[in-house]
């Protein structure tokens, strides 16, 4: 959304730094827990878990907190009963919204999500309503100053789908999830170590929204982002950067 990058998803979180940090820690630990449950507790053989642990380290989540989550999935401690669910809907202007959740109570989660949609001019859709507008991809992000030509040639030779350059000098490599670890390893072996690496949902089309529709979309996405059960939030909205900054800075 911001910066007109195909992969970018702006952050809608507001409130105090402590509150945001607490929510971030909770979401990361939930992702570690879910990844371990579905793919095992060894990051060497579980790419999703490896990414979750890297995200935890980058966010300075205490190491013992991560280890406790892994022990819980290995049966040392009781499990937490979380399940993965996905919801789809539309915001103002026909904007598509995809929401990935981890919850221990589906009824509570869908009720909170439906309320957010209703309050901010959107509506919750059925399964498949908007998911066809997104596809899962791996994203490797590189700092400004990275050798663009060298990264471009090596990434495409390794099988990457695309390499994007951005106005701030950063670079993004888009890869198929099946080849994510192989391509990251090959690029890293040649000195191209990404600042961040993640799996995300890439929108096939963007929907420009501004004015009242733009504010409605931002408020809806902000309300969804605040829900505890929401892990990841994706939208194909293209909101002017100035509106995004005003929203983030508003009380």
Mean pLDDT of 216-222: 94
Q: Coil, helix or strand for 139?
A: strand
Contacts of 76 (CB under 8 A, 6+ apart): none
Q: Is residue 78 part of a domain?
A: no
Q: Is residue 88 part of a domain?
A: yes
Structure tokens, 171: 């670079």
Mean pLDDT of 190-203: 92
Strands (E), the chain: 83-90, 96-103, 123-124, 134-142, 162-165, 171-175, 196-203, 207-208, 230-235, 237-238
Q: Is the predicted pLDDT of residue 24 greater than 60, yes or no?
A: yes
Mean pLDDT of 14-20: 50
Instruction: Tell whether 125 and 239 lie within a shared domain.
Output: yes
Higher pLDDT, 20 or 222: 222
pLDDT at residue 49, as a whole number: 85
Instruction: Tell whether 6 and 69 lie within a shared domain.
Output: yes
How many domains does the structure of the chain reveal?
Answer: 3
Q: Is the predicted pLDDT of residue 150 greater than 90, yes or no?
A: yes
Mean pLDDT of 3-24: 49
Tell me which H or E stretch contains 124.
strand 123-124
Nearest partner of 131 among 232, 28, 10, 21, judged by Cα: 232
Mean pLDDT of 22-47: 80
pLDDT 10s digits, 157-172 = 999 999 999 888 999 9
pLDDT at residue 173, as a whole number: 95
Return the axis-axis angle of helices 47-58 and 63-73, rounded to nearest 10°.
150
Q: What is the CATH number of the domain that holds 125?
A: 3.30.70.980
Instruction: For residue 175, give its domain range.
Output: 144-194
Q: What is the CATH number of the domain that holds 61?
A: 1.10.10.200
Q: Is the predicted pLDDT of residue 76 greater than 80, yes or no?
A: no
% residues pLDDT > 90 (the chain)? 55
Taking all residues of the chain, what is their mean pLDDT, rounded to a whole number? 85
Confidence of residue 117 (pLDDT cuts 50, 70, 90): very high
Q: Is the predicted pLDDT of residue 94 greater than 80, yes or no?
A: yes
Confidence of residue 73 (pLDDT cuts 50, 70, 90): low
Q: Is the predicted pLDDT of residue 191 greater than 60, yes or no?
A: yes
Nearest partner of 87 among 209, 229, 238, 237, judged by Cα: 229
Of the three residues 73, 98, 120, the one that is the final residue of a domain is 73
Instruction: Tell whether 105 and 210 lie within a shared domain.
Output: yes
Instruction: Tell whether 92 and 65 lie within a shared domain.
Output: no
Instruction: Give the lowest-confidence range in 4-8, 104-108, 121-125.
Output: 4-8
Mean pLDDT of 9-14: 47
Sign of the alpha-carbon torsion through 53, 55, 58, 61: negative
pLDDT at residue 193, as a whole number: 94
Tell me which H or E stretch contains 218.
helix 211-225
């Amino acid at each position: 959304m911001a910066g007109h990058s195909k992969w970018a998803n702006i952050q809608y979180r507001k409130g105090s730094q402590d509150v945001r940090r607490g929510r971030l820690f909770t979401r990361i630990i939930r992702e570690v827990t879910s990844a371990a449950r579905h793919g095992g507790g060894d990051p060497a053989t579980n790419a999703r878990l490896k990414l979750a642990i890297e995200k935890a380290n980058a966010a300075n989540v205490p190491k013992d907190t991560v280890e406790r989550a892994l022990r819980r999935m290995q049966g040392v401690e009781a499990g937490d009963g979380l399940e993965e669910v996905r919801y789809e809907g539309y915001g103002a202007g026909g904007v598509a919204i995809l929401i990935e959740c981890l919850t221990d109570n589906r009824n509570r989660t869908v009720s909170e999500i439906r309320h957010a949609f209703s309050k901010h001019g959107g509506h919750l859709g059925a399964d498949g309503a908007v998911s066809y507008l997104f596809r899962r991809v791996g994203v490797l992000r590189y700092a400004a100053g990275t050798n663009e030509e060298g990264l471009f040639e090596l990434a495409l030779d390794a099988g990457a789908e695309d390499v994007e350059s951005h106005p701030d000098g950063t670079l993004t490599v888009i890869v198929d999830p099946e080849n994510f670890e192989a391509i990251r390893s090959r690029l890293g072996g040649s000195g191209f170590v990404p600042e961040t690496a993640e799996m995300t949902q890439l929108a096939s089309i963007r929907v420009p929204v501004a004015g009242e529709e733009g504010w409605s979309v931002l408020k809806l996405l902000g309300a969804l982002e605040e829900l505890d059960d929401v892990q990841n939030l994706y939208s194909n909205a293209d909101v002017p950067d100035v509106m995004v900054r005003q929203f983030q800075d508003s009380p």
